[in-house]
Structure 1
């Protein structure tokens, strides 16, 4: 038996849960990109805005950790959204070299429009799944995330 007979991955590699999760995420992200584009937004902009909305006052480093991206990627996105008037930096009350991130009124308006787009994508998915499967899938995804965090 040669190494070529064994192959670089198991025969069931494309049937794994992790692959199905990745395929679903890629499909959702592609649809978000397509539907947010008319608003002049990318899915990454939406993710950043909604995270800052949920946790106002985050620093760039904290935001990078929560979004699982590099600090450089966050800095670039923050600069872009700040230039658009959707995000502002404010000095941290106790640490003069740290800046907190906050949505502006324009940022909240943009997030409201973008969230309506994302909610429609959610509706499309949940309508196809039905209420029982939606509830079950959500619970299973939380369990999968917990299982990974426990390792």
Structure 2
């Protein structure tokens, strides 16, 4: 990589893979927020419901780690979704001070509707890239994630 004599970073710094990932994630998140808002849901709610669906019984701390957010953020989201009747806490079978998180029927219904919206966004991307390039991009992003985890 070439260092730019005029500044602290290389001239092509904004053309890096990491910036492309950031721009893409930002665009996708903004579209999710826009399209989920009419459902009374934020993208963070969708992510939390999806993660609990995929791993029922997670604790708040485990959920925070998997979503890469603070435990306080998870606690706030959990409380909000619990108030909506979409999430419930159940006692852990072995640890009396630990509570597991589970979707309620209302949570499953909300997730189903929200996931249809997110699937439309996925389809928009696939339509633009074509199915083969979309599958290739998915594989490449998986490889990139693995490369970062290896360090």
Partners in 2 of 1:51 and 1:84 — Cα distance? 17
CA deviations 1:5-46 (Å, max 9, x no partner) are 531221111100000000000000000000000000000000
Query: What secondary structure is seen at the aligned counterpart in 1 of 2:95?
Result: coil
Aligned to 1:60: 60
* TM-score, structure 1 as length reference: 0.96
* TM-score, structure 2 as length reference: 0.96
Aligned to 1:116: 116
Aligned to 2:86: 86
Matched ranges for 1:36-47 at <5 A: 36-47=36-47
Query: What secondary structure is seen at the aligned counterpart in 1 of 2:89?
Result: strand
Aligned to 2:144: 144
Aligned to 1:28: 28
CA shift for structure 1 position 80: 0.4
Partners in 2 of 1:92 and 1:50 — Cα distance? 20
Aligned residue pair count: 148
* Structure 1 stretches of 4+ moved >4 Å: none
Query: What secondary structure is seen at the aligned counterpart in 2 of 1:6?
Result: coil
Partners in 1 of 2:68 and 2:82 — Cα distance? 21
Partners in 1 of 2:65 and 2:106 — Cα distance? 25
Partners in 2 of 1:36 and 1:8 — Cα distance? 39
CA shift for structure 1 position 131: 1.3
Aligned to 2:73: 73
RMSD across aligned positions (CA): 1.1
